[in-house]
Amino acid sequence: MPLDIPRLRQDFPILNREVRPGVPLAYLDSTATAQKPLAVINAMDEFYRRFNANIHRGVHTLAEESTAMYEAARAKVARFINAPSAEQIIFTRNTTEAINLVAYTWARVNLKKGDLVVLTEMEHHSNLVPWHMLSAERGVNLEFVPVMDDGLLDLDIYRALLARTPKLVAFTAMSNVLGTINPVAEIIRLAHEAGAATLVDGAQSVPHLPVDVQALDVDFLAFSAHKMLGPTGIGALYGKRPLLEAMPPFLGGGDMIKTVHLRNFVPNDVPHKFEAGTPAIAEAVGFGAAVDYLETIGMDAVASHEQEIIAYALERLEEIPGVKVFGPPADKKGGVAAFTLDGIHPHDVAQILDGSGIAVRAGHHCAQPLHEKFGIPATTRASFYLYSLREEVDKLVKGIYEVKKIFG
């Protein structure tokens, strides 16, 4: 069934806000961070009001309740991506930390000078910089699957790179600029046939599409709560159990140990081995509430709504003289429309749109190499989610015409 968006929007208090008197908010920046439903806000509020205590080590009532809520959230996240067990979900601060965890543990054990890591030209900096750092430290080679003019990956070049027997293929499931939905299952299958491990940046895919880690056979998947209606400050790394068990700890301190002596220590079991110190407990509870909310709606329904919205947005944007939208057509992309407007800097576009209450993002979106690929310094990006309306697309288009009018 199609989503009842006007009713659903009532769950999101911020969407009723006026950014200034008489100017209602049109929030078109969900790729940067999603807004939060009352279910998430209330879950975190209730945690702090009734259950707040540190987890795992306490035996009093609050500590036991808090621990149960934290671990229940882990189980919900595991279920959401069809992980075989909750123990294969490691809570991190965000997607960036999850990728860095793999780079600092698995990669530094398994990669040596001359080994090849295959990335793509559309990667977010979070899936570029950790590998640059590893390359500088260890002499690991990096190669990149090109992005073609239509915003799709050149899989012929990818196959040629696999012939060089890389040790790791790390790539985004969905571009945060182009919106391109990559053929994740095929990329993983080909990588495994070449003997490479795989890491998927799921920051944009997990919030918007059904994701099944067992069906994909992915080795590592990283994603963030705040892009899927949850709070900031918490994300997750999924890993295959044998890989996680073989990896050394990431950070040292409390809760990631079994025993500590003056001259040695024994690390804890997975997942606790990777969760040093007091974690983001309330945020985990909010993460679990966000998963509950999305599961109630259904990820197929979320994806279907976004397909309808992005198709309409591309149709309307392409009507505007001087607008160039980057990326593939609607049937090959998620709810992201990054564009330029002839003769007008994207930051000026975004600032003028804000005057009409339209929240979009302008800049390189932490994907500078991709913008260099297309020979542009920046784009204006409108992005959509399950609460987005066609009327907001119309407001965006009207706002762009106003920008053109102001700049003559």
Residues tagged active-site: 366
Which residues are within 8 A (CB) of 324 and not within 5 positions of it... i.e. 6 or more apart? 339, 340, 342
Give the Cα separation of 298 and 103 in Å (integer): 33
Amino acid identity at 43: A
Give the Cα separation of 281 and 71 in Å (integer): 10
CA distances (Å), origin 282, targets 33, 42, 118, 142: 18, 11, 37, 38
Give the Cα separation of 351 and 341 in Å (integer): 14
User: What's the token pair of residue 36?
Assistant: 């939060």
Give the Cα separation of 277 and 68 in Å (integer): 17
Q: How far is CA 163 from the centre of its chain?
A: 29
Q: How far is CA 312 from the centre of its chain?
A: 24
Q: The tokens 């309409």 sit on which residue?
A: 312
Which residues are within 8 A (CB) of 402 and not within 5 positions of it... i.e. 6 or more apart? 352, 356
Give the Cα separation of 291 and 361 in Å (integer): 26
Give the Cα separation of 84 and 297 in Å (integer): 23
The closest alpha carbon to 168, from 273, 90, 91, 243, belongs to: 243
1 CB-contact burial (10 Å; exposed 0-12 / middle 13-18 / buried 19+): exposed
User: What's the token pair of residue 26?
Assistant: 């049109």
R_g over Cα of the chain: 22
Q: Give the strand pairing for 235-239 and 89-92.
A: antiparallel
**Consecutive H or E run containing 290:** helix 281-297
